[in-house]
Structure 1
Amino acid sequence: MSLSLVLLYIVGSFATGLQSLPFFSLLFYPVLLNYTRKQWKNNILAFIVNTLAVSTATLTTFDIVYGTPPFTHFSRVLVYAAVNNLFIIISTLIDRLAFINKNSGVWTRVLLFPCMWTYLWHIHDYYGDGSGYSNSTSDWAAWAQIVDLGGKSLLDWLLALFGTCLLEYDTWSKLYFQWKESSSISATESSLTTTTATTETKHIPSVNQAHSSLSSRLSKIRLQLLLHPLSLYMIVVGLLYVYGEVKSSIRRGAFFQKPIKDWAPDTIPVACVIGSGGFDMELRSNYSHWMDKSIDASQRGAKLVLWSEEVVLTETLQDEERLRAMAIKVAMEQHIYLVIAYDRQFPTNHNMAVLISPQGDILIDYIKANPVPFDEDNEPGPGVLLYVDIPEFGRIGLVICYDLSMPKFIRQAGQNNVDVLLQPAFNWGAGAPSVLRNQQLRPIENGFTLFRCVSQGISGIIEPVIHGHYEQKTVTISNSVYIFNLPLQQRIKTLYSDYIGDFVPMTSLAFSIVILTRLHFF
């Protein structure tokens, strides 16, 4: 195996998956393209090697039961990795076609691959974006914040563009050295012109003409260098870094040097009741146990109590009625908003979350709209994100777990001006950090505050700016209560959610078609 394939395997193993590293995600694109552009067969070899790399990166993805032996689901992981790599090989094959085309110029080499990549992963995200290569960069504040401009697709495009621009380093360096050489000659000529002006005045016109010609050539090279894709990319990334840092560092209303008392929102205590999380499964039938946990949370000051996903099980209609009656009683007696989450087995298998008011009214009765493909046999709900206006909290929406991995579905929260989105969830195995990196992009894209309670995962509060001042995260496993302080703040409007939506992937598709048409592929 060549050194290039070894490098691709190592980088690919940490560019995506359960323990991805942002730098490796960024490095993946130039490593991949540098190999696939050389020969046709390299695309097939890259497909095979990166399938193995993604399999390594996602080895325990389907180990739902704690203590599952290694490689138990390896065949399924391999199929999963191969399907994901189909999106990659389609992008690299089209890129290779354009790369060897005699009509292909520098901008074709630079733009076609990012455009194809962005559109294809946009299609992939219709089934959930948990395996995307841009997810790991969500902890890089300056990068991640740009999703409020164009959604996750803009982040995909920018990362893929890094690969094609970096591979133009040879043409950029040639221009750079030409500019340096011309600058040196120009400086020498300028010195000679000054000397000539004092000794041989009759030759001044010809000397000045040569110097003018050199200056013109120098200006032309400088302009070519400035407009080179790699130079423009560095300028754009610099501007986006400034944008991201401003958004994440300076809160709304804090500029310029306003006292914190003038802009800090009030907070209100809220609580997570974390279910059995795959352990102590007999507790799923013990409704009183979880009501006591909810009362404990209330007595510790929580005004809203949110259960994690599928804390209890209802096997009959009578079970469900008893559960709801108990929850209504707790909400009324404790004067709290209570969200119970349970697995309804009858009459239809539904994954449920119900928001109850302190007056005992059911404000939201929600069925999970997006069950995890192949792993959950629940019937999906109608696909409408439900919300309600509450005086104490503003507009509250409610979703369940994998719903937050569906960008198009969650965009409804932004379009309906949801201030706070509640998310009961259940993770398993080693997946919790990866799921969080993926799902924490949704509040940024849509401008809401996320309150999530997760069994075997990471619970807390995620703000609409990455690493906001009120961000709170903690690992939560099972059978426990955690208190957080929720900032009471209105949703922030975003360009992505309020105005342009899928503009980036659709424009990427249009550009791809235009480029391929110009190269006579259509």
Structure 2
Amino acid sequence: MTCSENAFTSLLVLGSGFCWAFGNTLQPITFLAILQPVASLISLDRLILRPPSWGIQRPRMWTATACLVITLVNALGGTVAFAGVLSYPETTATSLAAAFGFGLAVSTAITIFPLLGNHWACSLWPNHSATTLIFPCLNTATYTFLSLFISTFLSPGNAILDWEPLKQMCSIWGLAGAVWLLSSSSMCMYIAVWIHHPLALGRGQTGLTMSASLRASYQIYAQLPTQELSGDPSGPVAKASSGLPSSSSQTHLSAAMPVNQQPLPLLQHWVVSLTLMQWCLAAVIGGLSAQAPLFYQVDITTIIPNTIQASCLIESSAIDSSYEWTLLWDRTEARIKAGDDLILWAEESVNISAGTGEEQLWQQARQLLVAYPGSRSYIGLSYQALHVDSNMYTNHFVLMQPDGTLAWNYLKAYPVPVVEDDVIAGPAQLPIHDSPFGRMSGAICFDFDHPHFALQAAMQYVDIMLQPSWTWGSVGPRHFSGNQIRAIEGGYTIIRCSSSGVSGVVTPGGVVTTQVFTGTSGIHVFTVPLFPRLWTPYAQLGLHYVEWFNLAVAALLWMVMLVPSGWWSKYGEIAATWMYMKKYSGGAVQGSKRSFLNSLRTHELSLRDSTTSQDDGIHVSSTSQ
């Protein structure tokens, strides 16, 4: 590279990290989130195809170095983006190191699988209309896989859902569909600004690509008259089959150019058509869904729902007999007297000991409910129980019915990594309870960042999901926004009570009817509209399985790309030859097709053996002309 090219590539690499830091972050900028994959794709291509003069001569070693550079820069960007996520109760060197570790893990996965996978795919199958679909497939599959271990909190799909019609489309394709749309939009930009660049045109030197001699033979074959296709021994086909290239074949051989020197127009790439279709669907279907309750000119008085009154009580790790403990119980009693239908404590409102402490807490709630026999209040107790023998905790959400009986005792299934390393995970099974105002279920905070877990609620036809939560710093708004996606995917109402974050109510259509910022202590009362549960294609039609199908396709693609290039040289080009013959012959060749293939392959190998260089067959050597 020249100095100016080095500088431009360096700016691209740094730009990729910058877009990662401020695109997919706690306060995301949509355009930067879409631009980030574009910068990473082009940066990696430029580094691999024209490396700087760093003294690294081996191509494979430089490819690994290029991947390492991209990975580290993006990991630093991820650290900036999510530095506050693991910084509790304050930002420290340890919390930043943990954030960098997570950023490095995600960045490594993204660099190896989607970015490097796209580079290899464009080298193996250049100038093919379907090749540009590979990056969206691999990128979406990678984030689907990561969601099983890290959750969807880091998913870039969250960063582009600030447009309401697009958000509504999650009822059809889920958050993974938003990731695919982001990835395919990035690929369209990549095609527009990069794929015609001379460096990009120089790819495709290996793999399932047609060598010059074979391609020239296809051109001859395509131009032959019908009588020669039928087996005229004096034609160029016979001469090529005998291993002695004719003068016309020599002319074509010398003039043959790599197929990727003639890139496809932008609109001929499948990914462009598919992306345009997705945006159109979002505009039309998503737009209609956003207006569904009132479309078309519905009288608003006919759709006013019934309501219930719910209260959110917030304390943080109150200890038995402390002032905060007493205040929390006084507020609970006051809300029972006020006639609230639901009283929900924020996550970890109190800290108690496991066993005896839990029984005393439950008994105190029973006594309070029994003291008001006409009450219709459900009480959701959220607490953390210490197991002295192991010095570990369990995170509980207990729902007490108005008569004092237990509706459920749920344990948090997905504790937050690093922050809750001392919390024992509960079973990944949602509780279910049928109440006078609908079927209810509940989960705690970070559990909602696992969509395949939360999908149980939709499959069980839940009407209301209860969510005690606890966040910190600036995490709350993004977490609340992610909960909206669960409501849209599952078609149920969410009532969220969070300390140090955002509390509120989300309807089955993802509409936020109440949203308040909450601290470490307080009381908030919500009027909850009881809209009917919505049927969603994502849940009820089984479209969530498309994510797993995409993951399987991505794994298959990687298996294909990891096949040694010699295998493709031996078998792939013969298959490609056959497809071209079939396309151009129009069925004129019958019995001689197999012999023609074999002799043409023999002729091709003889040309390769005669060349002094170890070229891969794209450029024709002087000995074969």
TM-score range, shorter chain: 0.7 to 0.9
Mapped to 1, the partners of 2:183 and 2:194 lie a distance apart of 19
Contact 1:61–1:431 (8 Å) recurs in 2: yes
C-alpha distance 307-375 of structure 1, shift in aligned 2 (>3 A): same
SS at match of 1:354: strand
- 2:122 aligns to what? 99
- 1:184 aligns to what? none
C-alpha distance 425-449 of structure 1, shift in aligned 2 (>3 A): same
CA deviations on 1:184-241 (whole Å, 9 max, x unpaired) are xxxxxxxxxxxxxxxxxxxxxxxxxxxxxxxxxxxxxxx9947764344223312222
1:5 equivalenced with 2:13 (yes/no): yes
Please state how far the C-alpha of 1:299 moved relative to its aligned partner: 4.2
SS at match of 1:343: strand
Please state how far the C-alpha of 1:21 moved relative to its aligned partner: 2.1
Contact 2:448–2:486 (8 Å) recurs in 1: yes
Please state how far the C-alpha of 1:42 moved relative to its aligned partner: 3.8
- 2:501 aligns to what? 457
Compare 488-497 and 306-315 and name the one that shifted more.
Answer: 488-497
Aligned match for 1:243, one of 268, 276, 285:
285
Return the letter of the residue paired with 2:172: L
C-alpha distance 238-302 of structure 1, shift in aligned 2 (>3 A): same
Contact 1:61–1:77 (8 Å) recurs in 2: yes
SS at match of 2:34: helix
Aligned match for 2:107, one of 85, 97, 107:
85
Q: TM-score, normalised by structure 1?
A: 0.82
1:308 equivalenced with 2:349 (yes/no): no
Please state how far the C-alpha of 1:421 moved relative to its aligned partner: 0.2
Please state how far the C-alpha of 1:507 moved relative to its aligned partner: 2.7
Compare 38-47 and 366-375 and name the one that shifted more.
Answer: 38-47
Return the letter of the residue paired with 2:180: W
- 1:335 aligns to what? 376
1:418 equivalenced with 2:453 (yes/no): no
SS at match of 2:505: strand
Return the letter of the residue paired with 1:349: Y
C-alpha distance 156-228 of structure 1, shift in aligned 2 (>3 A): closer
- 2:445 aligns to what? 401
- 1:215 aligns to what? none
Please state how far the C-alpha of 1:512 moved relative to its aligned partner: 3.3
Mapped to 2, the partners of 1:329 and 1:298 lie a distance apart of 12
CA deviations on 1:397-446 (whole Å, 9 max, x unpaired) are 01111111111111100100010000001101221122223332111111
Write the mapping of 1:16-35 to structure 2, written as runs, cut at 5 A.
16-35=24-43
1:260 equivalenced with 2:300 (yes/no): yes
CA deviations on 1:455-485 (whole Å, 9 max, x unpaired) are 101000112223x2x5211101121110111
Percent of residue pairs identical: 26
1:386 equivalenced with 2:426 (yes/no): no
Write the mapping of 1:304-383 to structure 2, written as runs, cut at 5 A.
304-315=342-353, 317-332=355-370, 333=372, 334-346=375-387, 349-376=393-420, 377-383=422-428
Return the letter of the residue paired with 1:423: Q
Please state how far the C-alpha of 1:172 moved relative to its aligned partner: 10
- 1:113 aligns to what? 135
CA deviations on 1:116-165 (whole Å, 9 max, x unpaired) are 11111111101211111111223321222222112211111111111112
Compare 406-415 and 493-502 and name the one that shifted more.
Answer: 493-502
Please state how far the C-alpha of 1:305 moved relative to its aligned partner: 0.6
SS at match of 1:438: helix
1:60 equivalenced with 2:84 (yes/no): yes
Return the letter of the residue paired with 1:345: L
Mapped to 2, the partners of 1:502 and 1:284 lie a distance apart of 47
Please state how far the C-alpha of 1:514 moved relative to its aligned partner: 5.7
Contact 2:314–2:499 (8 Å) recurs in 1: yes
CA RMSD, aligned part only?
Answer: 2.7
> Where in structure 2 are there 5+ consecutive unaligned residues?
1-6, 49-62, 198-264, 565-625
Mapped to 2, the partners of 1:86 and 1:172 lie a distance apart of 24
C-alpha distance 453-283 of structure 1, shift in aligned 2 (>3 A): farther
C-alpha distance 475-284 of structure 1, shift in aligned 2 (>3 A): farther
1:51 equivalenced with 2:75 (yes/no): yes
C-alpha distance 249-72 of structure 1, shift in aligned 2 (>3 A): same
Mapped to 2, the partners of 1:246 and 1:501 lie a distance apart of 20
Return the letter of the residue paired with 1:235: M
Contact 1:266–1:488 (8 Å) recurs in 2: yes
Contact 1:284–1:312 (8 Å) recurs in 2: no
C-alpha distance 519-366 of structure 1, shift in aligned 2 (>3 A): closer
Please state how far the C-alpha of 1:508 moved relative to its aligned partner: 1.9
Contact 2:441–2:465 (8 Å) recurs in 1: yes
Please state how far the C-alpha of 1:255 moved relative to its aligned partner: 3.4
- 1:142 aligns to what? 165
C-alpha distance 283-490 of structure 1, shift in aligned 2 (>3 A): farther
C-alpha distance 159-482 of structure 1, shift in aligned 2 (>3 A): same
Mapped to 1, the partners of 2:306 and 2:326 lie a distance apart of 33
The number of residues matched between the two structures is 465
Please state how far the C-alpha of 1:331 moved relative to its aligned partner: 3.0
> Where in structure 1 are there 5+ consecutive unaligned residues?
175-222
- 1:217 aligns to what? none
Q: TM-score, normalised by structure 2?
A: 0.69
- 1:167 aligns to what? 190
Contact 1:136–1:434 (8 Å) recurs in 2: no
1:490 equivalenced with 2:532 (yes/no): yes
C-alpha distance 438-446 of structure 1, shift in aligned 2 (>3 A): same
Return the letter of the residue paired with 1:478: T
- 2:154 aligns to what? 131
Larger radius of gyration: 2
C-alpha distance 463-15 of structure 1, shift in aligned 2 (>3 A): same
Please state how far the C-alpha of 1:281 moved relative to its aligned partner: 6.8
Mapped to 2, the partners of 1:172 and 1:257 lie a distance apart of 48
Mapped to 2, the partners of 1:227 and 1:8 lie a distance apart of 24
CA deviations on 1:332-383 (whole Å, 9 max, x unpaired) are 4243111011111247732111111111111111111221223222222221
Contact 1:172–1:230 (8 Å) recurs in 2: no
Mapped to 1, the partners of 2:91 and 2:269 lie a distance apart of 55
C-alpha distance 300-30 of structure 1, shift in aligned 2 (>3 A): farther
Mapped to 2, the partners of 1:69 and 1:89 lie a distance apart of 28
C-alpha distance 512-384 of structure 1, shift in aligned 2 (>3 A): closer
